[in-house]
């Protein structure tokens, strides 16, 4: 085959590859929009499932873009806009209708505060240079926690005590997104490289647990990841204080006469 035809086919292939991540991003956008529609109809379980679908599709979007080397500025901008809908507006509307509606103005203001924190989190992520870890709770994880809660209890929350608990939880999740806490990004898990057999066993076990008891397992996983940032920061602080005390003790011993 002539060389110029091969080059033309390669260019066409590259253009086709760039379409795939954009289609997946559109899928994320659609899932977020469908979640809002389901929420307006009072179908909170369906709305939560749609947020979960957006979470999965968004993860595939980034993985495929990296695997095919098809990351572009347009793709990142489009992905951020879709994330604002899927992981910002959709969970905010769901939280308002499902759990905070009885609080009136305070409820929808808290819902908006969550949406604003998602937009700020995504804006900060867009200008970060080091992405080996997440600074602040990722917006998909925050949305996953909201969706997992509605999936666990799909009926509208009527108890005033539980409504107040949900309000506090939503505000804490919002603040975690704009915090400086570090979260594991899992980007070191390279699908192109061989992985230990234990990784397959762990993944298979997680899938089995989710199928066996999806409501409890998904909520536990989402809450565990959200709390991992503060817990790791606290443990790191304790470890640093212990090292500092040891250094002070060794310094005092070395400065004693006859040491």
Tokens for 176, please give them: 């975690």
The average pLDDT across 247-251 equals 70
Range of the domain at 245: 3-255
CATH number at residue 72: 1.20.120.1760
The average pLDDT across 71-82 equals 84
Total number of domains in the chain: 1
50: nearest Cα among 59, 38, 62: 38
In sequence order, the 6+-apart residues with CB closer than 8 A to the CB of 245 are none
Q: Rounded distance, CA 113 to CA 216, Å? A: 27
CB-based burial of residue 207 (10 Å sphere; 0-12 exposed, 13-18 middle, 19+ buried)? exposed
Choose the weakest-confidence range: 15-24, 53-62, 107-116.
Answer: 15-24
Tokens for 121, please give them: 């989190």
pLDDT at 13: 43
Q: Is 177 helix (H, G, I), strand (E, B) or coil?
A: helix
Mean pLDDT of the chain: 85
DSSP assignment of 128-157 equals -S--SEEES--HHHHHHHHHHHHHHS-SPP
């Amino acid at each position: 085959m002539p060389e110029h035809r091969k080059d033309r086919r390669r260019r066409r292939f590259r253009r086709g590859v760039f379409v795939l991540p954009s289609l997946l991003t559109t899928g994320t956008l659609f899932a977020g929009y469908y979640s809002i529609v389901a929420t307006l109809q009072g179908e909170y379980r369906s709305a939560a499932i749609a947020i979960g679908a957006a979470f999965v599709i968004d993860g595939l979007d980034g993985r495929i873009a990296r695997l095919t080397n098809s990351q572009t500025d347009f793709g990142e901008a489009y992905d951020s806009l879709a994330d604002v809908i899927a992981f910002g507006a959709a969970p905010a509307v769901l939280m308002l209708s499902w759990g905070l509606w009885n609080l009136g103005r305070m409820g929808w203001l808290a819902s908006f505060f969550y949406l604003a924190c998602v937009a700020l989190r995504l804006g900060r992520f867009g200008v970060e240079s080091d992405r080996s870890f997440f600074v602040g709770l990722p917006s998909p994880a925050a949305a996953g926690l909201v969706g997992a809660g509605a999936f666990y209890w799909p009926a509208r929350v009527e108890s005033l005590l539980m409504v107040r608990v949900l309000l506090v939880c939503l505000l804490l999740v919002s603040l975690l997104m704009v915090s400086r806490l570090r979260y594991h990004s899992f980007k070191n898990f390279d699908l192109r490289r061989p992985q230990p057999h234990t990784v397959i066993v762990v993944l298979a076990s997680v899938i089995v647990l989710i199928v066996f008891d999806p409501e409890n397992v998904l909520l536990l996983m989402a809450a565990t990841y959200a709390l991992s940032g503060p817990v790791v920061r606290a443990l790191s602080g304790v470890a640093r204080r212990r090292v500092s005390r040891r250094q002070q003790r060794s310094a005092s011993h070395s400065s004693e006469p006859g040491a």
